[in-house]
Amino acid sequence: MSADTDADAAPDADTGSGSVDGSPPAGPPRIVLEAVKLEKYFEQSDGIVDRLLGGGGRVKAVDGVDLRLHRGETLAVVGESGCGKSTLGQSLLNLHAPTGGSVRYRGEDITGLSGRRMRPYREKLQMIFQDPLASLNPRQTVGDIVTAPMEVHGIGDSDADRRERATDLLERVGLEANHFDRYPSQFSGGQQQRVGIARALAVEPDVLVADEPVSALDVSVQAQILNLLDELQAEFDLSILFITHDLSVVRHIADRVAVMYLGEIVETAPTDALFAAPDHPYTESLLSAVPRIDPEVRTERILLEGTVPSPLDPPAGCRFHTRCPAVIPPADWPADQPAFRRAFTFRNRVEAGELDPGAARRRLDAEGRESDDAAVARHLVETSLPGDAAALPAGARDAVESAARALVDGEAADAR
């Protein structure tokens, strides 16, 4: 039986004690944290009337995500800024109440729990935030920050016991015992993040959700924090959901990778397999941007055309199709795929309202060039159609030029 068939195991089935020497038990991975068709939508309104009458749209930040975190593994969630990674991590911990779907911890449904009902799970599910300073109370000492979760969850027999536990944690994350009485502002960014890690570990969690934990740090410090997380994972038997946009970091720390685009997971694979042979064109484009250390290794950069669609109104079908370099032409398309991609990209830009005839006219005027309607239409085609318009089939070329003229005439609906 594969690991992915173990989703509905009983809660105590995930707590195997392992072998006599403390190594993980043999057999398939155990699912510690799972999202099933998870959704998180945010209501967006433009004003008081919309808020009162329920107008506006819904931002589909997380839209039908299925995800499984196995015991003892690091699962990276990667994607561009705004794809929903952080919202996904916070929804898994009920820091955002999910709109739909479910979250299960060791087989138990914890969807939407809050307050006292969620407290027992907070002890087992902890988060490391992106900005270490912003996540630490500047008026509390490091000791107060680390011991506060212990007090909330009843860990430690006395203040002295909690202080001893806290100083031990500070030393384990690479700080010193005498840092207990200092304030966050007295530390560097890397040291502040170590405090955040110590706070998360204070309640002896099973799962850490690390939301871009090194992106705000200098490159030299990033490696130290990544190595620390790796060491702590082995020491505390942690399962880590690691959220990042940096694929070079992913290769260093992750066992598996889930690639996210516009609220959806488009591909999940073991790290080595994903880097060697990505299945999804979006993953391939992300990997093409990763810097190579070896100057002899040449990688062709895949540049994506167009902008990311709005999560208020994501495209139907594959959400990446509006930018996909491998988009498949219809059967009756009379030319090759690259030609279809150019025409398709132009159409998507028109539908997204990206083409601005007024801005084009002002630019032509500033450059001292002709700026009559015909010149503006030509300029829109030249600057917004990848490649050579003349290389398009006659019918497609006529449609592109007709759409540009309609935009110049103020007939945006006809252009679409």
pLDDT digits (tens, 9 = 90+) for 231-268: 999 999 999 999 999 888 898 899 999 999 999 999 99
Whether 92 and 35 have beta carbons less than 8 Å apart is answered as yes
The most confident of the ranges 40-49, 58-67, 246-255, 380-389 is: 58-67
DSSP tally for the chain: helices H, then strands E: 15, 10
Residue-level pLDDT at 323 = 86
130 has pLDDT over 90: no
Count the alpha carbons within 13 Å of 206 in the hemisphere toward its beta carbon. Answer: 16
State the amino acid at position 399 in one-letter form: A
Q: Region 157-186: what's the mean pLDDT?
A: 94
Q: Region 363-379: what's the mean pLDDT?
A: 90
Report d(CA 152, CA 166) in Å as an integer: 14
Check residues 321 and 50 and name the one with the higher pLDDT.
321
Q: Region 156-175: what's the mean pLDDT?
A: 93
Tokens of 395: 């019918």
Tokens of 295: 């100057």
Report d(CA 139, CA 74) in Å as an integer: 33
Check residues 264 and 407 and name the one with the higher pLDDT.
264
Residue-level pLDDT at 26 = 46
Closest by CA position to 77, among listed 309, 279, 289, 253 = 253
Report d(CA 367, CA 329) in Å as an integer: 38
What integer best gives the mean pLDDT of the chain? 85
Report d(CA 400, CA 393) in Å as an integer: 11
The most confident of the ranges 172-181, 305-314, 348-357 is: 172-181
Report d(CA 361, CA 66) in Å as an integer: 47
pLDDT band at 45 (very low <50, low <70, confident <90, very high): low
Residue-level pLDDT at 303 = 75
User: Global pTM?
Assistant: 0.79
DSSP states along 247-266:
HHHHHHH-SEEEEEETTEEE
Q: Is residue 131 helix, strand or coil?
A: coil
Check residues 289 and 357 and name the one with the higher pLDDT.
357
Q: Is residue 241 helix, strand or coil?
A: strand
Residue-level pLDDT at 4 = 39
Bridge partners of 125, per DSSP, are: 207
pLDDT band at 13 (very low <50, low <70, confident <90, very high): very low
Closest by CA position to 78, among listed 219, 336, 265, 216 = 265
370 has pLDDT over 70: yes
Whether 3 and 70 have beta carbons less than 8 Å apart is answered as yes
pLDDT band at 2 (very low <50, low <70, confident <90, very high): very low
